[in-house]
């Protein structure tokens, strides 16, 4: 069977991105059966030998990324604000965490559907729960030192359900979610760069049609913090997360007779510790879950709202369209409040964009320091087509459902918004449908 050995994080969706050598079928881009100890993430392949966690740093790329990061930090601090520069650093920390732990939703959900392995989903639920424990009292206490804190709130209706289902299908086609797309692009994946470009186009199209979607039936905005109070709302949120945790853990236990520990890392990396593990990875999913929750709390305190990703994609698309003479400024979405100001201001003034830039550079820095920045890969046209279609669906779905796995699910549920739960359920259904039926029909597996 023809194959090629790569170091690349390719974004397809199953195992540890870059921490073990991987074997691809050179013609069909198929993955082979995955051993149970591998780490679910936004990379798709299987082990073809022993993990190699101690590769030498890619020094020149690391220096280039570090220099770009320092330069952008300086521009933000002097031209925008010190707060914006700090948010850029938070974005970089998010990128390092996601890359070193291969922390993605796509592979974890796929693995739950196909193998009944719940480790990634359990880590995600812990992450959301930890953030909620901090979010609920902070949102109740707002304003803090004169600064208002606003949760990730949106109406729970048909738009959210339909958009989330689109997103779930798209992320399994593309092999990455909102955060997964960014950190794999930062790691050097050409395939996921196609997904990102399509993501931007889809998000822009979503802004054109959002008014129609908002006209569909909706329960409106429902906040557990406002309706039930912080203590009761938080308790209900933690019970809900706990029930899902118990359900997926039980499914794994029944299927395999044992539970994969959240703190596991590839066997060959277990002797690595201290600064070397911090800089080069790999990190466990549990470590990443805690770090991501803390960083989302930091985002809330610095930006006044939680972590989000996909708003920036629509903004980037609108700015590019406007630059080539397309009148997106005439669309109702881009005439309203902040959207109009963002369209006509520097992209560096937009918090979500700046944090996304930080995430890209942070994941690139992590990959280069670990010596695992991507090498060239051979991908058939079908793989790129799936990446593009998945990106379009994710971009459009995220816009009409008010976010992705980060802005809607993570930040939405942690903020006590009902739409976050609706998004979670519908996105998982879409993901299940794609894994079970769409990907096999398109011969992507």
Q: Rounded to whole angstroms, how far apart are CA atoms 104 and 195?
A: 15
Residue 155 makes CB contacts below 8 A (sequence gap 6+) with 214, 218, 219, 220, 221, 402, 419
Question: Is the pLDDT assigned to residue 29 strictly greater than 50?
Answer: no
| Residue 445, strand partner residues | none
Band (pLDDT 50/70/90 cuts) for residue 372 is confident
Q: What is the mean pLDDT of residues 300-308?
A: 97
pTM (2 d.p.): 0.86
Q: Which 3-state string (H, E, C) describes the chain?
A: CCEEEECCCCCCCCECCCCEEEEEECCCCCCCCCCCCCCCCCECCEEEEEECCCCCCCHHHHHHHHHHHHHHHHHHHHHHCHHHHHHHHHHHHHHHHHHHHCCCHHHHHHHHHHHCCCHHHHHHHHHHHHHHHHHHHHHHHCCECCECCCCCCCEEEHHHHHHHHHHHHHHHHHCCCHHHHHHHHHCCCHHHHHHHHHHHHHHHHHHHHHHHHHCCCEEEECEHHHHHCHHHHHHHHHHHHHHHHHHHHHHHHHHHCCCCCCCCCCHHHCCCCHHHHHHHCCCCHHHHHHHHHHHHHHHHHHHCCCCCCCHHHHHHHHHHHHHCCCCHHHCHHHHCHHHHHHHCCCHHHCHHHHHHHHHHHHHHHHHHHCCCCCCCCCCCHHHHHHHHHHHHHHHHHHHHCCCCHHHHHHHHHHCCEHHHHHHHHHHHHHHHHHHHHHHHHCCCC
- Asked if 354 contacts 88 with a C-beta cutoff of 8 angstroms, the reply is yes
Question: Is the pLDDT assigned to residue 178 strictly greater than 50?
Answer: yes
Q: Is 248 exposed, middle or buried (0-12, 13-18, 19+ CB in 10 A)?
A: buried
- Asked if 55 contacts 272 with a C-beta cutoff of 8 angstroms, the reply is no
Whole-number pLDDT of residue 266: 64
Q: Rounded to whole angstroms, how far apart are CA atoms 163 and 213?
A: 9
CA atoms within 13 A on the CB side of 322: 17
Q: Rounded to whole angstroms, how far apart are CA atoms 407 and 107?
A: 19
- Asked if 378 contacts 275 with a C-beta cutoff of 8 angstroms, the reply is no
Whole-number pLDDT of residue 370: 82
Positive/negative CA dihedral, 181, 186, 192, 196: positive
86-107 pLDDT, tens per residue? 999 999 999 999 999 999 899 9
Residue where the block lists tokens 């209706």: 157
Q: What is the mean pLDDT of residues 184-200?
A: 93
Q: Which one has a higher pLDDT value, 70 or 1?
A: 70
- Whole-number average pLDDT of the chain: 86
Q: Rounded to whole angstroms, how far apart are CA atoms 16 and 281?
A: 11
Residue where the block lists tokens 């029944």: 254
Q: Which one has a higher pLDDT value, 276 or 433?
A: 433
341 alpha carbon, distance to own chain's centre: 26
Residue where the block lists tokens 């700090």: 86
Lowest pLDDT segment from 44-58, 295-309, 349-363, 369-383: 44-58
Question: Is the pLDDT assigned to residue 330 strictly greater than 90?
Answer: yes
Q: Which one has a higher pLDDT value, 378 or 282?
A: 282
Q: Rounded to whole angstroms, how far apart are CA atoms 129 and 228?
A: 18
Whole-number pLDDT of residue 27: 25
Q: Is 112 exposed, middle or buried (0-12, 13-18, 19+ CB in 10 A)?
A: buried
Q: Rounded to whole angstroms, how far apart are CA atoms 413 and 319?
A: 30
Band (pLDDT 50/70/90 cuts) for residue 177 is very high
205-259 pLDDT, tens per residue? 999 999 999 999 999 999 999 999 999 999 999 999 999 999 999 999 999 999 9
Angle between helices 119-141 and 105-115 (to 10 degrees): 130
CA atoms within 13 A on the CB side of 426: 25
Q: Which one has a higher pLDDT value, 282 or 51?
A: 282
376-425 pLDDT, tens per residue? 567 788 889 999 999 999 999 999 999 999 999 999 999 999 999 999 99
Q: What is the mean pLDDT of residues 111-136?
A: 97
């Amino acid at each position: 069977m023809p194959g090629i050995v790569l170091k690349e994080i390719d974004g397809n969706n199953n195992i540890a991105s870059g921490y073990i050598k991987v074997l691809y079928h050179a013609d069909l881009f198929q993955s082979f059966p995955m051993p149970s100890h591998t780490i679910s993430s936004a990379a798709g392949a299987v082990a073809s030998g022993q993990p190699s966690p101690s590769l030498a740093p890619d020094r020149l790329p690391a220096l280039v990324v570090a220099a770009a990061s320092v330069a952008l930090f300086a521009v933000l601090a002097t031209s925008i604000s010190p707060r914006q520069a700090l948010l850029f650093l938070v974005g970089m920390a998010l990128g390092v965490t996601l890359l070193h732990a291969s922390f993605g939703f796509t592979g974890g959900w796929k693995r739950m559907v196909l193998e009944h392995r719940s480790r990634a989903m359990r880590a995600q639920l812990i992450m959301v729960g930890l953030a909620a424990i901090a979010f609920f009292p902070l949102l109740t206490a707002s304003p803090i030192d004169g600064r208002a804190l606003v949760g990730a709130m949106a109406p729970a209706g048909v738009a959210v359900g339909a958009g989330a289902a689109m997103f779930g299908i798209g992320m399994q086609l593309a092999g990455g979610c909102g955060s997964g797309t960014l950190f794999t692009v930062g790691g050097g994946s050409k395939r996921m760069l196609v997904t990102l470009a399509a993501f931007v186009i889809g998000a822009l199209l979503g802004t054109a049609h959002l008014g129609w979607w908002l006209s569909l039936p909706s329960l409106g905005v429902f906040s557990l913090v406002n309706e039930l109070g912080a203590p009761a709302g938080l308790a209900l949120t933690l019970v809900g997360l706990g029930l899902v945790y118990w359900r997926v853990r039980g499914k794994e236990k029944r299927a395999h007779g044992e539970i994969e520990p959240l703190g596991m890392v590839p066997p060959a990396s277990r002797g690595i510790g201290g600064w070397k593990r911090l800089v080069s990875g790999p990190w466990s999913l549990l470590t990443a879950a805690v770090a991501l929750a803390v960083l989302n709390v930091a985002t809330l305190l610095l930006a006044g709202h939680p972590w989000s990703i996909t708003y920036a994609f629509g903004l980037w698309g609108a700015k590019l369209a406007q630059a080539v003479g397309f009148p997106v400024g005439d669309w109702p979405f881009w005439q309203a409040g902040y959207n109009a100001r963002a369209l006509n201001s520097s992209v560096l003034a937009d918090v979500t964009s700046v944090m996304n830039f930080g995430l890209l550079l942070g994941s690139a820095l992590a990959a280069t320091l670990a010596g695992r920045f991507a090498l060239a890969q051979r991908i058939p046209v079908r793989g790129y087509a799936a990446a593009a279609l998945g990106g379009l669906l994710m971009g459009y779905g995220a816009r009409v459902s008010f976010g992705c796995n980060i802005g809607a699910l993570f930040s939405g549920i942690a903020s006590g918004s009902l739409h976050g739960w609706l998004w979670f359920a519908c996105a998982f259904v879409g993901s299940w449908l794609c894994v079970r039926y769409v990907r096999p029909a398109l011969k992507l597996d």
